[in-house]
Amino acid sequence: MPRLNDRWALVTGAGRGFGRSIAVGLAREGCNVAVHYNTSALGAEAVMEEISAEGREAFAVQADVTRWEEIRRLADEVFAKVPRLDILVNNVGDVAPEQMSWRDVTEDLIDRVLAVDVKGTMLMTHEVGSRMLEQGGGTIVNVCSNVVVTGSPRAPQYAASKYGVLGLTKSYAGAFAPRVRVNALGPGFIETESTVNREDWRSGRREDVLAKTPLGRIPGPDELVGVVVFLASDESSHMTGNFVLCDGGFSMVGA
């Protein structure tokens, strides 16, 4: 029996990259999926086709997660279409990929990253989580990062934003308990299309990360979907406010 059979999930930023893999991976576990996108409409359509091929239902919803009125509209649309929303995956994020050094930071880059990663995650968690409480329960999974352990000398605002996501995870886990669980996963580098096309990735960063990763490989997005499924499923029923580090041992931490 699939672990998420006949449940409904909403995945943000699901039109490409890790979000796309999460949406399809949830469908393979029996989940129906609301596919969120902001600008990747064609990507969202392709993801829905993949979900349909798994025998599950899907529909797309568009919104800018940095605007509360759009999040309210998105939530209205989703909750009107599904009998119950069981899972929210806050995947959408901005790593400022064009920034190669802390010296290159600008006020616009600071504002953009914090707006998407912190404000967007908070608005989605607040709006959707509140409605989950009203329906009697649910599970929220936030995509964080191992930069909460390592920091980010390249883009300090990105590390600050993911510390914010971790703080939101713990805060709403307490606020929504015991009916809605909120957890986070902390991946390291994932070889998505956007990662492999980064200038620093093509000029030595990949080799440096590999050399410092005990498991000796950098995963594609599909490899980490299992962690999301675990956090979304009843297998993690006694976990909330947790941060699950999954970066191949790159940033091992003590108890």
In order, the DSSP letters of 100-167 are: -SGGG--HHHHHHHHIIIIIIHHHHHHHHHHHHHHHT-EEEEEE--THHHH--SS-HHHHHHHHHHHH
Q: How far apart are CA 29 and CA 4, in angstroms?
A: 5
Query: From CA 66, how far away is CA 78, in angstroms rounded?
Result: 18
- Could you tell me if 130 and 74 are in contact, meaning their C-beta atoms sit under 8 angstroms apart? no
Query: CA distances (Å), 67 to each of 38, 73, 75, 229, in order?
Result: 11, 10, 13, 28
Half-sphere exposure of 74 (CA within 13 A, CB side): 28
DSSP, collapsed to helix, strand or coil, labels residue 19 as: helix
Task: List the beta bridge partners of residue 142.
Answer: 90, 184
Q: Which residues are 229's β-sheet partners?
A: none
Q: Which residues are catalytic?
A: 158
